Amino acid sequence: MGNETRAQEFHLPLAQITQSPLDCSVRYLTYSGDYARLGLEYMGAAPFPDTTSCELNLPSTTPSAVESLWCLTLLSPAATLTQLQRVLEFCAEQQWQINAIDTLAHRHECMVIRLQLNAELEFSPARFACLQLAEEIGADLVLQDSASQRVPTLAGFDMDSTLIDAEVIDELAKITGIGDQVAAITTAAMRGELDFRDSFKKRMALLKGFSEQRLAEIAQQLLLKEGAQKLLHCLRELGCKTVILSGGFTYFANFLQKERLAVDLIYANELEFAEGVLTGEVIEPIVDGMRKRLLLEEIARDMGLPLEQVVAVGDGANDIPMLNLGALGIAIHPKPKVRLEAPQAITLFGLDAALYLFGLNDQQIAKLGQP
């Protein structure tokens, strides 16, 4: 009996959750101002022996209405009671009042728990404290204004290393035998150590003579980032317009739009060819970080949208300007500098995890269908 895995729901005051010395797997947690419902899987002694318990009863298909000032979302690939206790202790230390808790995903490989907070807080230091706690507990912890817990009307995406799992310019360089040289420049630029425009010109000059014929072969081989198709499909189903804003190339962005991804608009850099090969020259204007931000602002203005209905997603230093523009700026698998400067960050999951930050749960996402 001691080695048998048990699954139970415990009913207890929220504060009592932090008092168990035992650790186990969390299946869900809900709370609405009275008693919490905590679903656990454990072996041996019960973590809360003196509380009411019953069989697991998975949460409602509809999350609670968001009525608090802030939302703090825990995204864990293997949620444990210790992780959850640390988050609750952290909120108490910060004097953040928890008004409601919902479980948006309760798969074994993906647990997403959203806490609604009423708190007078300064976003930047609070966000940084959340990042530190996230590293400590081995999860993602995302803080956002509760008004941003809704589906956006416009979403801007970086392409390289965001929608696709590569930096295209590096892939071109590998074929020409100068991969290490170009990759070093790209890495420095994405970390914010080099000016993007200057680094872009240097890399393009090194690619002079690359055959146009090879581009189509490379486009077919590009791997999408995990969750990219699902996120863009769901956004289209939800009526959100999507745009690629890339320091990469229109050639590949157009291919993705035509063959792989539900994207509405594209802004990227044009490749210049002469007699079937790259000239190594740059066609202005270069889509750098500030141009990405200006283009996203312009698109929102043309659509008559306030910036509160706009989100941006990226991974590199040249994405920071647009990540700090609208309701949410989600850094996906970001470089260290970007993780520190972006308003929100997802490091342990694919792009589709952004849907939880829009207030959707797994049941609602499933109803949108598959791409």
Catalytic residue set: 158, 160
Match 């539900």 to its residue by tokens: 262
The strand pairing partners of 116, in sequence order, are 71, 100
Q: Which amino acid is at 282?
A: V
Q: For 211-218, which contacts have Cβ atoms below 8 Å and span 24 or more sequence positions?
A: 211/276, 211/277, 212/273, 212/276, 212/277, 212/278, 213/276, 214/172, 214/175, 215/251, 215/252, 215/271, 218/168, 218/171, 218/172, 218/175, 218/252
Query: CA–CA separation, 147 vs 61, rounded Å?
Result: 21
Token duo for residue 291: 């141009």
Is residue 370 exposed (0-12), middle (13-18) or buried (19+ Cβ within 10 Å)? exposed
Determine the Cα angle at 35 with ends 30 and 37, to 5°: 35
Query: CA–CA separation, 326 vs 147, rounded Å?
Result: 12
Give me Rg for the CA atoms of the chain: 23
Q: In what order do the strands lie in the sheet with 328-332?
A: 265-269, 241-249, 154-157, 310-314, 328-332, 344-346
